[in-house]
Amino acid sequence: MRVLLRKNPVDLLFLTITAIASATVLVLIAGILYVLFLKSSLAIEKFGILNFIFSTDWDPVRQIFGAATTLFGTAVTTILALFFAIPVAIGTAIFITEIAPNFMKGPIGIAIELLAAIPSIIYGMWGLFTLAPIMAEYIEPALQNTLGKVPLLGALFAGTPMGIDLFTASIILSIMIIPFTASIARDSFNLTPAIVKESAYAIGATKWEVVKNVILPYSKSGVFGGIILSLGRALGETMAVAFVLGNNHQISSSLFHAASTITVTLANEFTEADTDIYLSSLFYLALILFVMSFIALAVAKIFLLRAQKRYSA
């Protein structure tokens, strides 16, 4: 390799350029992390780590800040979005790869890609002016009259249906992350060796049995990696959630109450941060979100690498 580089300066130039490009990515990530840590150092020093994470106080007047309410809103909307999106996404991927005729696969695939290409603010506007009124007038009252009457479970559907709440925000998020999970699941399903599926059909397996016992077990690592990538997408979504979630720094047992997430708090309150500790606390939230997203994407990469290794084998 060294002899080749000495004889061919073009290869040396190409190696240098690509190495610089790769190092730039690492420098940018390290720079972002450094700036977030530097700007949040005042809040870290005053509130600590555990006290800030578990405190429910968010009072700019008294200059007391905690992340528990925003972490709660972020966790609830993300988990519910995954709960709604995963069955639809995997079902779509199965239909495209195993059931749909060839003339339908192209249009459905394009539709999935189109969902991923729509700007988040469009989702937010559609959620505010179209979905929220439907949720408040039809869906949420129906849930209250059915599931709301079930003991214990009814607490999740208490309150006045307004359409601007955790439930509506979760629906919007689920629609936004369906394309990511569906695309990766479809690619994972397509990598299942045809001979394996044909062998299952040859011994009398039905299409459902082939999907359940052959395709899903073979591609589970890739599908799970796609789910984790969707998790990272849901954690960082801002505008669509800000339109339909409200900005209420409280922890409530009901899904029909307004709440707040880390991203919504950052978007709504940065212009109002008129003191150093207020601004530092917002940067502290951004640092927590950065770490959460980094961990989610790292886990997704591990599963995708495992899937790739298995497919290549």
**Residues 123 and 95: beta-carbon distance below 8 Å:** no
Question: Which DSSP string corresponds to 69-130?
Answer: HHHHHHHHHHHHHHHHHHHHHHHHHHIIIIIS-HHHHHHHHHHHHHHHHS-HHHHHHHIIII
Nearest alpha carbon to residue 223 among 310, 304, 109:
304
For the chain, 313 residues long, give each residue's pLDDT as a single digit of tens. Answer: 555 555 577 777 888 888 899 899 999 999 999 999 999 999 999 999 889 999 999 988 889 999 999 999 999 999 999 999 999 999 999 999 888 888 888 888 888 888 888 888 999 999 999 999 999 999 999 999 998 888 888 889 988 888 899 999 999 999 999 998 898 889 888 888 888 888 888 888 888 888 888 888 888 888 888 888 888 888 888 888 989 998 888 888 899 999 999 999 998 888 888 889 999 999 999 999 999 888 888 877 787 777 667 666 6
Q: Is 65 helix (H, G, I), strand (E, B) or coil?
A: strand
Q: What is the pLDDT of residue 311?
A: 61
Domain 68-312 classified CATH 1.20.140.10? no
Can you give the pLDDT at residue 265?
A: 92
Query: What pLDDT is stored for residue 235 in this prediction?
Result: 86
User: Where along the chain do its domains lie?
Assistant: 68-312
Q: Quickly count: other Cβ atoms within 10 Å of residue 115's Cβ.
A: 17
